[in-house]
Amino acid sequence: FIWSTDIGTMDGTGMFTAPTTPGAGTITATNQTISGMAPVTIVPGAVNSVIINPNTVTLTVGDTATFTAVAYDAYGNLVSGATFTWTTNIGLVDSSGFFTAQTISGSGTVTATSGSASGIASVTLLPGSLHHMIVTPNPVTVAVGGVQAFTATGHDIYNNAIIGVSFTWSTDIGSITGTGILTAQTMPGLGTVTATSGIVSGNAMVAIIPGSVDHII
């Protein structure tokens, strides 16, 4: 027989090597003027790699997103009908790729696995919008006329710290600079130091006490 094919290669012994792309064709064996044909269908191979879309995503804590996955064989052919197992270390993901972010900011991954092949998407979780502020130290005792430095941090509803929040400082128990340095009033009393950003404020309780003995009447 003389062997031939239109969808791969054949040697003289009838050994067929399939092409690396799916398709359909025939194998033909010929003896003089007589031929016989066998139909051949080439299908994708086993899953070799998985790609997730989106591959890189930035979300806010508690947000949701939908991931999709596609599988390919060793030659880059799409493997239709592949099933995936979804996992994540930064929230929850269901069997369809629907992801719910955790409430703590940070970085992690979403993984889709089919057989021995896996695809990974990178996820960055940012804090949410400003919800409350924390002023420190709180409470604090300061001598009359004394100086005390305060700091403030903005936090989202899940208490994640928000970087870069700017504050306006105010007080009813002395004077305070734009950087949070309090100079206590010269009379004992109770009051607050307040840091404000937009409509959100945080307070620290301040007790002003007499200083050391200066003179006797």
Cα diameter, the chain: 134
Give the distance from CA 53 to its chain's centroid: 14
pLDDT tens digits, one per residue of 29-44: 999 999 999 999 999 9
The size of the chain, in residues, is: 217
Segment 92-109, tens digit of pLDDT: 999 999 999 999 999 999
Residue 49: partners with Cβ closer than 8 Å, 6 or more residues away:
71, 72, 117, 119
Average pLDDT over residues 8-29: 95
Residue (of 137, 200, 192) closest to 168 by Cα position: 200
Q: Sorting pLDDT into bands at 50, 70 and 90, what band is 215?
A: confident
Torsion of CA 53, 55, 58, 64, to 10 degrees: 30
pLDDT in tens, 27-83: 999 999 999 999 999 999 999 999 999 999 999 999 999 999 999 999 999 999 999
Contact 88, 80 (CB under 8 A): no
Rounded to whole angstroms, the Cα distance separating 171 from 143 reads 16
Query: How far is it, in rounded angstroms, from Cα 109 to Cα 156?
Result: 23
Asked if 208 and 139 touch (Cβ cutoff 8 Å), the reply is no
